[in-house]
Amino acid sequence: MDVQRFEAAADPAAVRALHEIYRAGAPVDEPGGPPMSAAVFSGLLVRGWCAEPRDNWLARDGGTVLGGYSLELPDRENRDRAALMLLVAPERRRSGAGSALLRHALARADELGRGTVTSEVLDGTPGDAFARAMGARADLVENRRTLDLTAIPDGQLARLRAAALAHADGYTLTSWDGPTPDQWREPVARMNEAMADAPRGAGEQPQVWTADRVAEADRLSLEKGLRRYSLAAVAATGELAALTQLSVEEAEPAWGHQEMTAVARAHRGHRLGLLTKVAMLEWMADREPRLEYVETWNGEDNAHMVAINVALGFAKPHRVTAWLLPTRVPAASGPR
Ligand SMILES: CC(C)(COP(=O)(O)OP(=O)(O)OC[C@H]1O[C@@H](n2cnc3c(N)ncnc32)[C@H](O)[C@@H]1OP(=O)(O)O)[C@@H](O)C(=O)NCCC(=O)NCCS
């Protein structure tokens, strides 16, 4: 097996080859959801979700691409770790390629100064069995849930909106699509930081946000062909009190991807999480008429957020485990 580094921005053929492998495995690796489109996958390999540097590698066997990996290397916080996406073509699995690529990735991450590699995997998939076999340590557990918009009973959203409004006196709703308007960038940065109150992995540092980082994340979203919608609650003082964001991939208009939902600490207890999410769904019925499903990920212990989502009808929880592996593994306990 020959493992070569590639520059995702300069080598679309390499990105395409890895995306084909990803898509071929998706029915078993990511059951119940749409696989990332080529545009999103490519954007991810080039600049990540948040402009984090990446290190991409392709594995060939006699000219045939059989897999590869991509390391995300956070450079603002969590500089001690790297997030790994490791892929082996379905027809080449169970013959040691994954273990060999993992060894390569661990050595590479170590060389780049990272002490830990992390990876999120749906429970019950080959990646789950692989992570266990490699001696990885389970960390944060999340649940992916899906809302079937076509199954929401008539009048349900109006009922939930009324129930939320009864606690939300003095707040107004506002929305924008695409990049964050100038006046909201700084407040949106603070909202992103409010996400630090959601459960996160052991030793994982919360992200530090600035108005520039917000603008950069917006740009990356656009570059990937994502239509991103933001719906906010504003307090009587003019302060941004709550924000929920959802994006839709150009290539998959039936699926919405829930991004952050956060309520500023001073404004919790007013049902603003529920209110903004209901308003988002009502808005989407207009703006994204082809939308049928929305998927969301929540930490298993995030009781308030989970309660809101269950009230909205999000169902079919599928556990996702974040796995951790030190890059320098004692010979006796590490991957083969
Ligand atoms: C996970 C993945 C990379 C494994 O690739 P692979 O080439 O099949 O891995 P290996 O052949 O080196 O497997 C090593 C060991 O992992 C375990 N394992 C891997 N896949 C398994 C499966 N489907 N069922 C049970 N055990 C499995 C086994 O113990 C295996 O050893 P064995 O074959 O001698 O029993 C591959 O399934 C994949 O691309 N999955 C999708 C992406 C993913 O989940 N990546 C992992 C996290 S980044």
Q: What is the DSSP string of 236-249?
A: TTS-EEEEEEEEEE
For 271, residues 6+ apart whose C-beta sits below 8 A from its C-beta are 163, 164, 165, 166, 167, 168
Rounded to whole angstroms, how far apart are CA atoms 336 and 80? 24
What CATH code would you report for 2-142+321-326?
3.40.630.30
Sheet holding 315-326, edge to edge: 2-6, 54-61, 64-72, 81-88, 116-122, 315-326, 137-148, 293-299, 255-263, 240-249, 226-234, 172-177
CA-derived radius of gyration, the chain? 21
Helix axis angle for 12-29 and 126-133, nearest 10°, is: 100
For position 329, what pLDDT does the model report?
65
Cβ(98) – ligand 1 distance below 6 Å: yes
The angle formed by the CA atoms of residues 281, 317 and 148, to the nearest 5 degrees, is 35
For 61, residues 6+ apart whose C-beta sits below 8 A from its C-beta are 1, 2, 92
Q: Identify the bridge partners of residue 60 per DSSP, sorted by sequence position.
A: 2, 65
Mean pLDDT by 10 residues, the chain (336 residues): 97 98 98 94 94 96 96 96 98 98 98 97 98 97 97 96 97 98 97 86 90 96 95 98 97 96 95 98 97 96 93 96 89 50
Residue 160 phi/psi, 5-degree rounding, is: -65, -40
Closest ligand 1 atom, residue 93 Cα: 8
Closest ligand 1 atom, residue 335 Cα: 14
Cβ(25) – ligand 1 distance below 6 Å: yes
Alpha carbon of 145 to ligand 1 centroid (Å): 25
CB 321 within 8 Å of CB 267: no
Closest ligand 1 atom, residue 87 Cα: 39
Rounded to whole angstroms, how far apart are CA atoms 272 and 260? 13
Rounded to whole angstroms, how far apart are CA atoms 200 and 64? 39
Residue 273 phi/psi, 5-degree rounding, is: -65, -50
Alpha carbon of 131 to ligand 1 centroid (Å): 8
In this chain, the answer to whether the domains covering 2-142+321-326 and 153-312 adopt an identical fold is yes
Among protein residues, the one whose CA lies closest to atom 16 of ligand 1 = 130
Alpha carbon of 192 to ligand 1 centroid (Å): 35
Cβ(119) – ligand 1 distance below 6 Å: yes
SS3 180: coil
Cβ(83) – ligand 1 distance below 6 Å: no
Rounded to whole angstroms, how far apart are CA atoms 58 and 145? 32
> Can you give the residue ranges of every domain in the chain?
2-142+321-326, 153-312
Among protein residues, the one whose CA lies closest to atom 36 of ligand 1 = 88
CB 146 within 8 Å of CB 293: yes
Cβ(172) – ligand 1 distance below 6 Å: no
Alpha carbon of 17 to ligand 1 centroid (Å): 20
Cβ(76) – ligand 1 distance below 6 Å: no
Cβ(132) – ligand 1 distance below 6 Å: no
CATH architecture of the region 153-312 = 3-Layer(aba) Sandwich (3.40)
Alpha carbon of 70 to ligand 1 centroid (Å): 17
Among protein residues, the one whose CA lies closest to atom 7 of ligand 1 = 98
Rounded to whole angstroms, how far apart are CA atoms 248 and 225? 9
Cβ(265) – ligand 1 distance below 6 Å: no
For position 336, what pLDDT does the model report?
47
Rounded to whole angstroms, how far apart are CA atoms 242 and 156? 22
